[in-house]
A and B are shown apart, each in its own frame.
Chain A
Amino acid sequence: DVKVTQSSRYLVKRTGEKVFLECVQDMDHENMFWYRQDPGLGLRLIYFSYDVKMKEKGDIPEGYSVSREKKERFSLILESASTNQTSMYLCASKGIAYNSPLHFGNGTRLTVT
């Protein structure tokens, strides 16, 4: 079974702090994704990566950056956290076939005060 592990379940940070959200997958998947989930808005794609050191912007990249130094690890970085980044963050990975499914972690609920 594919396992996608997000390092923190809950995080509370202050406005202006730099925040790192870590994600690790154990199935040698090429593609990794970061989404945020908000009530009434569903899932929105922040960034994705299709290979080590490669990244592409999703639908809402502003205020975020990412890092993929190793195939199994994909980090989401909030350079200067703001209250409107309070949300549930979901990491996912998938194989290279277009119709292969996404495998999600359990999410990190981030609160910025």
Chain B
Amino acid sequence: GDSVTQMEGPVTLSEEAFLTINCTYTATGYPSLFWYVQYPGEGLQLLLKATKADDKGSNKGFEATYRKETTSFHLEKGSVQVSDSAVYFCAHSYNTDKLIFGTGTRLQVF
């Protein structure tokens, strides 16, 4: 069935380090792909999205590219800040209003 797999955390980095959080998906067809972020004590909020192959979503210095050939949507940031500490969720949807989420990856920046 359709699913999303993302790397287990926590990911611990020092400030200004490079971040990669891996995400792969299985889906029927070509889904829309999303990254959501959850800051402490808050609900999830959309960070970025891509709706077709080779699209790059970007926001707040974060980027992710829709790779159809590897069914991946890895999240990257060139220089993380303490304020980026949060839980990051990868998700997809295909011809449905329901999103399928990964289990989340906690990022800790010190």
Contact = CB atoms under 8 A, between A and B. Distances in A.
Interface of A: 4, 31, 33, 40-43, 45, 48, 50, 58, 90, 92, 94, 96, 98-99, 101-107
B43 A105 contact: yes
A104 B43 contact: yes
A31 B97 contact: yes
B39 to A, nearest CB: 10
A90 B51 contact: no
A73 to B, nearest CB: 17
A94 B49 contact: no
Most chain B CB within a 10 A radius of its CB, from A4, A33, A102: A102
B101 A43 contact: yes
B interface secondary structure, majority? loop
Contact of A98 (B32, B36, B46, B89): B32
A106 B38 CA distance: 9
Contacts of B103: 40-42
Contact of A102 (B46, B51, B95): B46
B41 interface: yes
Nearest to A32: B97
Most chain B CB within a 10 A radius of its CB, from A31, A50, A107: A107
